[in-house]
Chains A and B, each alone.
Chain A
C-alpha cells in the first residue's frame, strides 16, 4: 500500500510537470498599438468591432474604462492625455497603464487573451493549441517515468548479476568437490586394472599353493611400488607387517585389495610350519628371497622412488604389469617349476649357495640358463 502511495505521489509530480510543459509553448500574436488601459486595441474594423476599440471592453480607446492590464485599479489623470483622452494611471505603480511595470506584460496579456478565447484551464494554465505540444509534453513525462523505473531495473539487473556470479562461484566449488567425490567413488567402486587382473589370475589351486607363488606375488607387489602404484602401498604395509611378524594388520588385509595374497601367504606359512613344503625351498625364501624382499619393501615404504629395481634378486622379474599380474598364476607355476629344476641342479652341483649365486642375477643367472 505504501508503495502505491509513493507511486501516486510520483504520478502527481508528473502531472504538474505535464501540465506545465503542456502549457509552456503557447505564443499568441499580440496586437500592436495600445489602448489607454495598456491593452492592445483592434487594428482593423470588422463586423464585430471597429478599429481602435479596446480588445478587453470593446469600447473605443478614448472611452475605455478597463482596469490596468496588470489587474490594479486605475486613476484617471486630469493633466495628462493620451490620444486626446484622459490618461489612466496604475494605482499600484503610479505610472501610465501603458508603461505599467507591475507584472510581466506579455504573459498577462497572453493570459487575458486565452481567457477570452476560453483556452485556459485551472485558472491560468493555457490549453495547448496543437497536438505536437501535447506529444512533446508526453515524451517529456514518459522519459521522466522511464528514467525513474530504469534506475530500479538497472539496480535489479546488477543485483541479479552479482548474485549469479556468487552462485556460479559456489557451484563451481561444489562441482569441483562433487567431481572429486565422484572420482574417489569411481576409484573405490571400480577396481583398478591391476586389481582385476590379480583377482582373475589369482585362482589358486592346490599345486600353486606354495611359497613360489607367494614369493612371485610379493615380488610383483614390490615392483608395483616402484612404479608409484598407490594400491600397492597398503598391501606392502600388510606384507611388511607379515614379514616382521606383526599380525595386527592381517585381519584387515583379508578383506582388502590383496586379501587373497595375504591369505596365500598365511596358507604358505601354515604349509611351511606343517612341513608340507620341502625345507630347502623354505630356507631359500626365508633366508634369501624374503630377506631381499623385506629390504625392498622397506625401501618402498621409506621412499617410493626406490624399489626392487636396485635389488639384484628382483632384476629378472618381468616388468610389464599385465604379464606380471595377469599371468601370475601361470608364471608362478612356471617359476615354481624352474625353482624345482634349479634345486635339482643345486643338489647336483653341491649346495644351494651355488644356486644363490645364480639367483643373484648376471649373465649366468638361472633365468638365462
Chain B
C-alpha cells in the first residue's frame, strides 16, 4: 500500500471512530438511568451501545496503526501510549493519545466488569465523559481535514447530538414515574373550569 493510501485510511478511520464514539456516548447518556431511548428498549440500547463501542475501537486501532507508518505524522510506538511527545503537532496529537488511553481503560474495565465489580467499573466508565471531548478536540486540532466545511459540519453535528440527548433525557424533563404504571388523573371537565 502506498503511503498516500495509508494516509487516507488514517484520516477516514479517525472520522468514522469519532462518529461511532458519538453514537456510543449519546446512547450511554440517553439510557443513563436505565431507560429505553429513541424507540429502543433497554436491551436494544445496551446491545447497540456495546456493539458500536467495539466497532469504534476497531476503527481507532486502524486509525492509530496506519499513522505509525505515516512519514508526516512521525508517530513512534511510544507516542501511541504516552501523550504529547510526537513530532507533528505534539499537543493536538497528544490529545488523541490521551483519548486512546482513556478509551482502552473504559473498554477493558467493561469487558472485565464481572471480575472487578460494579463500583470500580462505574468509576472508570465515567472517564468516557472526558474521553469523548478530548477525542473531538484532537480531531479539531490535528485532523488534516479540520478546516474543511464537511469536517466542521461533522464536528458540529457530533456536539449537537450529544448535547441534544443530554438535555432531552435529563431527569428534569421527564415524568418521575413511567406512564404505564401511573394511574392517569382524568379530568372530566376538560378545559372549562
Do A and B come together as binding partners? no
Interface residues of B (CB under 8 A from A): none
